[in-house]
Amino acid sequence: MTDDRRSITVLGSTGSVGAKTVTILEERGGAATFNVVALTGGRNIERLAEQAISLKADIAVTAYSECHAELQERLKNETTEVASGSEALAEAAGRPADWTMSAIVGFAGLVPGLRCLERGGAMALANKESLVAAGRLVTSTANRSGAILLPVDSEHSAMFQLLANVKPQEIESLILTASGGPFRHLTTGELAKVTPKQAARHPTWNMGMRISIDSATMFNKALEMIEAHELFETPADSIGVLVHPQSIVHALIGFHDGQMLAHMSSTDMRGAIEYAMNWPNRLPSRLRRLDLAALGKLEFEEPDEVRFPATRLAREVLRIGGFAGAAFNGAKEAALDAFLLGNINFTGMSCAVDEVLNSMAGDGSLCGEALELKEIMEVDRLARIRVEEYISRGLGQD
Ligand code: NAD
Ligand code: MG
């Protein structure tokens, strides 16, 4: 008997985007509708095992070998294969599937994402860091195999929807909106005292800890500008950012004739995940409907790049080109790790990234075409070391 269920893999299934994807799969019939090939996670083994049981996954992989025994124990009565470690994770990502959600956080999502793109199929991309660090490699790998990249970041999903039936030569600007984070009214002095716990509380979206802190620094928007450039081949000077505290409008396109299109939806990743899952169709959804009358007003303002320099740095990255994205992402991840450990303060993160980006650009470390994984990984590693050196000089604490 042939199996005509759609085959699905979810990388990072235990995270905020991954778990929502699993919930949507369950709502749409679970294992009766989908042949779930692989689910992967980190240390939340209880959730990973529950998901694997619920969706009858072929394989469940934890990135950490020290978690293997617990996963094995929790799945001992199931047919699900158990594996651990980054090699096993990449192997699972490479198993054929019609649709894959790439929702690992950070640079760690790059290799599994590439494995998935090499074997083709549709890949819903939440892992923006892989596009920032290795945009050309990611898109060229997809082009070679014919894999389809479907954006999941809410602004890029919105942009992708807006761009349908638009002629590229008619576009004047692509504008991403940003909530501005919880601290958009704080002074630089007040920002320096922000703690990781405060920074992880996002005003409008409910997301993983790292992206929430990246939103508070505006690094998330900086990553998204580069992501938009890589996904839509938009020139750097046509990509704009507008602070929009209500997070209802996600993206806008400006045309040469002076007119604009905007995309609106409630602040729930369900919209973007389902759009990528059902593309090219739209299916009925329980996505909360917007009540614009109740909302009353939508506000927009220019970002303040003095207090929040990250978006200015993104333009630098696009101007430098080459390996600048890899350095920027690596430095940003290292600075965030240092912030979580209390080794650098909130405003010190962008100072560290600024210095590392400029010193690496200055000594020629970022020249060349970023098409080789090994070279990209080396730039990522060097950028992280440069952030550690920056901190060991006693900087980033003022
Ligand atoms: P999260 O921290 O909630 O989940 C991350 C997932 O990756 C988890 O399953 C975790 O176990 C796994 N993971 C972490 N480190 C890993 C490693 N070293 N190796 C393998 N797996 C690892 O993150 P999230 O908020 O769901 O974000 C996931 C991605 O989606 C990020 O790239 C983020 O920028 C992007 N994104 C998230 C949202 C959101 O609403 N959360 C919105 C837009 C884009
Ligand atoms: Mg986003």
CATH number at residue 10: 3.40.50.720
Domain identity same for 355 and 369:
yes
Strands 171-178 and 249-255: antiparallel
Give the contacts of 232 (CB within 8 A, at least 6 positions apart): 159, 163, 174
Protein residue with its CA nearest to atom 44 in ligand 1: 153
Taking CA atoms only, the protein residue closest to ligand 1 atom 43 is 153
Instruction: Look at residue 11 and tell me if it is in a domain.
Output: yes
Q: What is the pLDDT of residue 2?
A: 83
Residues 68 and 140 in one domain: yes
Contact between 173 and 239 under an 8 Å Cβ cutoff? The reply is: yes
- Ligand 1 centre distance from Cα of residue 12 (Å): 6
Q: 170 and 74 in one domain?
A: no
* Tens-place pLDDT, residues 38-68: 999 999 999 999 999 999 999 999 999 999 9
What per-residue confidence (pLDDT) applies to 391? 96
User: CA-CA distance, 63 to 91, in Å (whole number)?
Assistant: 12
Q: Which candidate, 213, 204, 216, 217, places its Cα nearest to that of 269?
A: 204
Same domain, 259 and 331: no
Looking up tokens 């997070």, which residue turns up?
247
In a domain, 314, yes or no: no
Residues 111 and 34 in one domain: yes
Q: Are strands 260-264 and 249-255 parallel, antiparallel or unpaired?
A: antiparallel
Q: Atom 17 in ligand 1: which residue has the minimum CA distance?
A: 108
Task: For tokens 């290799």, name the residue.
Answer: 111
Ligand 1 atom at minimal distance to the Cα of residue 48: 9
CA 370 to ligand 1 centroid distance, Å? 24
Asked if 152 and 125 count as a contact pair (C-beta separation under 8 A), the reply is: yes
Of ligand 1's listed atoms, the one at least distance from the Cα of 211 is: 34
Residue to substitute in 14, 16, 336 for testing ligand 1 pocket (most ligand atoms within 8 angstroms of CB): 16
Residue 163 and residue 335: Cα distance in Å, rounded? 34
- In 3D space, the residue among 45, 56, 67 whose CA is nearest the CA of residue 22 turns out to be 56
CA distances from 110 to 192, 217, 299, 345 (A): 32, 23, 36, 28
End-to-end CA distance of the chain: 67
Distance CA 262, CA 253 (A): 7
Please give the C-alpha separations between residue 65 and each of 62, 70, 115, in angstroms, as whole numbers. 7, 10, 20
Q: What is the pLDDT along the chain (398 residues), one digit of tens a residue?
A: 688 999 999 999 999 999 999 999 999 999 999 999 999 999 999 999 999 999 999 999 999 999 999 999 999 999 999 999 999 999 999 999 999 999 999 999 999 999 999 999 999 999 999 999 999 999 999 999 999 999 999 999 999 999 998 999 999 999 999 999 999 999 999 999 999 999 998 888 888 999 999 999 999 999 999 999 999 999 999 999 999 999 999 999 999 999 999 999 999 999 999 999 999 999 999 999 999 999 999 999 999 999 999 999 999 999 999 999 999 999 999 999 999 999 999 999 999 999 999 999 999 999 999 999 999 999 999 999 999 999 999 887 86
Which pLDDT score, from 0 to 100, does residue 71 have? Answer: 98
In this structure, are 21 and 119 located in the same domain? yes
Provide the CB-side half-sphere exposure for 96 (13 A, CA).
Answer: 2
Whole-angstrom distance, CA of residue 89 vs CA of residue 109: 10
Ligand 1 centroid, distance to 101 Cα (angstroms) = 11
Position 292 scores a pLDDT of 97
How many Å apart are CA 389 and CA 365, to the nearest integer? 16
| Ligand nearest to the Cα of 152, by number | 1
Residue nearest to atom 20 of ligand 1 (CA): 63
Domain count across the chain: 3
**Residues 166 and 218 both lie in one domain:** yes
Ligand at minimal distance from the CA of 271 is 1
Could you list the residue range(s) of the whole structural domain that residue 391 is in? 321-398
Q: What is the DSSP letter of 31?
A: G
The tokens for 271 are: 């919209």
Report which ligand 1 atom has the smallest distance to the Cα of 214.
34
pLDDT in the model for residue 202: 84
Residue 276 lies inside a defined structural domain of this protein: no
Q: Which atom belonging to ligand 1 lies closest to the Cα atom of 130?
A: 32
Q: Are residues 173 and 45 in the same domain?
A: no
CA of 190 to the centre of ligand 2 (A): 25
Ligand of minimum distance to the alpha carbon of 250: 2
Task: Indicate whether 275 belongs to any domain.
Answer: no
Q: How far is the CA of 1 from the centre of ligand 1 (A)?
A: 37
Domain boundary among 97, 126, 151: 151
Kindly state whether residues 15 and 70 are assigned to the same domain: yes
Pick the closest to residue 148 from 159, 139, 161, 137 (CA basis): 139
176 shares its domain with 229:
yes
315 lies in a domain?
Answer: no
Q: Are residues 47 and 95 in the same domain?
A: yes
- CA of residue 23 to ligand 2 center, whole Å: 20
CATH assignment of the domain containing 389:
1.10.1740.10
Give a yes or no: residue 122 inside a domain. Answer: yes
For residue 98, the SS3 value is coil
pTM of the model: 0.97
Q: Tell me if 387 is assigned to some domain.
A: yes
Q: Can you tell me whether residue 37 is helix, strand or coil? A: strand
What is the rounded distance in angstroms from the CA atom of residue 209 to the CA atom of residue 72? 27
Ligand nearest to the CA of 212: 1
pLDDT of residue 398: 67
The verdict on 59 and 125 lying in the same domain is yes
Write out the H or E segment, with its range, that includes residue 239: strand 239-243
pLDDT, tens digit (0-9, with 9 covering 90-100), for 83-108? 999 999 999 999 999 999 999 999 99
Ligand 1: distance of its center to the CA of 104 in Å? 4
CA distance 382 to 72: 36
Neighbours of 292 (CB within 10 A): 11
Which ligand ends up closest to the CA of 130?
A: 1
Q: Which residues pair with 101 in a beta bridge?
A: 10, 124
CB-defined site of ligand 1, < 6 Å:
12-18, 41-42, 63, 89, 103-105, 108, 126-129, 153-154, 205, 207-208, 210-211, 269
Inside any domain, residue 178: yes
